Amino acid sequence: MIIPPLPDPIIQSDYENVYNPSDDSYLIIDYFKRKINRNYFDGIKLNKIKKILDVGTGTGIVAIFFQLIKMGNPNFNPEIYASDILEDSIKCVRLNEKRNKINNQIKLINSDLFKSFPEKLKHSFNIIIFNPPYLPSSSLIKEYLNKKKIDFSWDGGLKGYELLIDFLTSAKIFLNLKKEHAIYCITSSRTNLIELNKLITNLGYKNRIVDKKHIFFEDIILNRLKNSLG
């Protein structure tokens, strides 16, 4: 059985609209490098994890990272899903899979959040990760200009967190709440975190900050959420 150090996926962004992995992507990867060992995935037994979903996958960096771990560890055998609103992202993940010699292993869904997900995936995921667009959009973009494809990488809504709240509202339907589960998502100190955390609590989640990093003018924060009744 392969043990840490865990893999570094080989990633390129082949399309100008697809988000190039950045500090937020690596905050997630580096956290999991510390928290996955030969028996546990951040405290959950590896063999209990049947389905993982990476929403807003971009180049596919997080999904490919999990797929590579899976190849090296027979105790860890979840199906890996990845989704994005941009078709170019879906094409880019396939190219990056090839670079990592894992052709067509990840199940890809081109979808605005969960809107195009099949019914059969409801109540099925143990782990969902979302590094969302999390910056407040300019009201100019909303009112006068058409949103461009690259804006999907950063524009989280007028307050910066509206898309995350939409995601968390639907994510509950797709999590397997009867089993151990977790959502990992990035937030930024450039949004009103007090307001955001109240909304998260109202949606019925318990939220724990598991890592953060200060970059130039903001803190980027990695949150771990679970159903507050779970």
- The site for ligand SAM (CB under 6 A) is made up of 19, 21, 24-25, 55-58, 61-62, 83-86, 89, 112-113, 131-133, 152-153, 163
Q: How far is CA 155 from CA 17, 25, 62, 95, 134, in A?
A: 13, 16, 20, 25, 6
Min dist. Cβ of residue 115 to ligand SAM (A): 8
Residue for token digits 């971009």?
58
Distance CA 144, CA 208 (A): 38
Q: Do residues 152 and 130 lie in contact, with contact meaning Cβ atoms separated by under 8 Å?
A: no
The two structure tokens encoding residue 55: 């929403």
Tokens found for residue 212: 């953060």
What is the closest distance, in whole angstroms, from the C-beta atom of residue 85 to ligand SAM in the complex? 4
User: Which CB, 27 or 102, lies closer to ligand SAM?
Assistant: 27
| Choice between 113 and 193, CB closer to ligand SAM | 113
Q: Which residue is nearest to ligand SAM (CB)?
A: 56
What is the nearest approach in angstroms of ligand SAM to the Cβ of residue 148? 11
Distance of closest approach, residue 179 Cβ to ligand SAM, in angstroms:
24
